[in-house]
Structure 1
């Protein structure tokens, strides 16, 4: 596995040392392999991708290259390399994105709107900009969207799907196994939010710096008792000394 996780570096390394193949792939050979599997990528475009001259391939391009190289599509964004049978995600991109909109949002407000997400992503600018109308297209259940890599990275980052290195886990959209693990964590978060725990914790963080030692002790006791008993009313007087 390469140290540089840029798309260009990963693709170039896989072409030089393809899994299960004794010799490297030339750009022409890889383009032919993609075509043989029903895809359509030119050797010239592959050359640009390997050199980093083009760095924003589409979801379909990533899946086609992964199939020809016999790796999981997530390999291109820091995910697993090993392939498990048919690796095109069984859950569609719109289904995964809709789940993020439904499950991930600040405790003090409701779910993000496409306008919220577009504004935040565009203001950050790390992966360029995106419009609210395009996000709606990506969310549409009947659509067959073909988002580009930078939009997948931006959306993953917006919903807090980041690794220890701070890089967005766009692999969520490319690896059903990883998506299932993340969704299980999100289900736990939803249960805590529905029980009022997330909002309660946010209020604790907001007020704790003004508390006396005695109030902090009472807070710890209240939280501990509630967790042990299953209590979900969370009525501890956070604003009182």
Structure 2
């Protein structure tokens, strides 16, 4: 699994087994499997062994959550995120709700939201994240009433990459595994939507197309004018063409 400078899932799982956060001695694969199953999960010691040595590197979301519960850590710990698991976690959002939020909020200003076909094609393009069909993506977005979406880790990474959720280590897949982080990112997305609805995102993109050829004086004038427009709060605001002469452009 390509995760840039971030430690692999295998390395993180192995370290958490060798140095558990809630007990002194390491977990054997058999012990960990027993704890997972005791908490209602379903995993074998053989599969845990494959995950720890990297022979299998694409667990499902449910498996990640089950391992995290057994080890007493936040699920994001396996992808380089926070480890501490508070007694009272923030209210959980479903995976589907998070994915719907990303689709509704993140897309270029020149067009509307991405379709499931476009997202699936983006994830599957170079094989780094495996392949996913548009029909499967639709099922993840709007699951049947009796179905709990259970995407695989590489698909989560592909989604994070497609929607630009990234940090220095690669795709920030922790968005889907850490509700505290998701709440922070969602707050930023709310601001993004507000700016886009006001036309600011499209305006900024248009400015970026032309600003490279502007003189320093013109850049300063543009910044000054935009600042004045925001501070005035008036819908009848006019562009200050020339302060000395009092000219203006409406």
Change in 2 beyond 3 A, CA 1:161/1:186: same
Using the TM superposition, give the Cα deviation of residue 86 of structure 1 relative to its aligned residue in structure 2, in angstroms: 6.0
Q: Distance in 2 between matches of 1:235 and 1:119?
A: 45
Residue number in structure 2 paired with 1:111: 113
1:147 equivalent in alignment to 2:146: no
1:187 equivalent in alignment to 2:190: yes
Residue number in structure 2 paired with 1:161: 165
TM-score (norm 1): 0.89
What is the DSSP-based 3-state SS (H/G/I as helix, E as strand, rest coil) of the residue aligned with 2:93?
coil
1:204 to 196, 204, 207: 207
Using the TM superposition, give the Cα deviation of residue 15 of structure 1 relative to its aligned residue in structure 2, in angstroms: 0.5
Residue number in structure 1 paired with 2:58: 56
What is the DSSP-based 3-state SS (H/G/I as helix, E as strand, rest coil) of the residue aligned with 1:210?
coil
Which ranges in structure 2 are unaligned for 5 or more consecutive residues?
A: 240-250
Which ranges in structure 1 are unaligned for 5 or more consecutive residues?
A: 237-241
CA RMSD of aligned residues (A): 2.2
Q: Deviation per CA, 1:130-170: give whole Å up to 9, x if none.
A: 211111011015441110000001101111111133x1111
Change in 2 beyond 3 A, CA 1:124/1:201: farther
Residue number in structure 1 paired with 2:243: none
Contact 2:123-2:155 at 8 Å conserved across structures: no
Change in 2 beyond 3 A, CA 1:56/1:163: same
Q: Distance in 2 between matches of 1:218 and 1:155?
A: 40
2:218 to 201, 206, 215: 215
Q: Distance in 2 between matches of 1:117 and 1:235?
A: 42
TM-score (norm 2): 0.86
Q: Could you tell which deviates more after superposition, 137-146 or 43-52?
A: 137-146
Residue number in structure 2 paired with 1:239: none
Using the TM superposition, give the Cα deviation of residue 116 of structure 1 relative to its aligned residue in structure 2, in angstroms: 1.4
1:176 to 174, 179, 184: 179
The number of aligned residues is 233
Greater strand proportion: 2
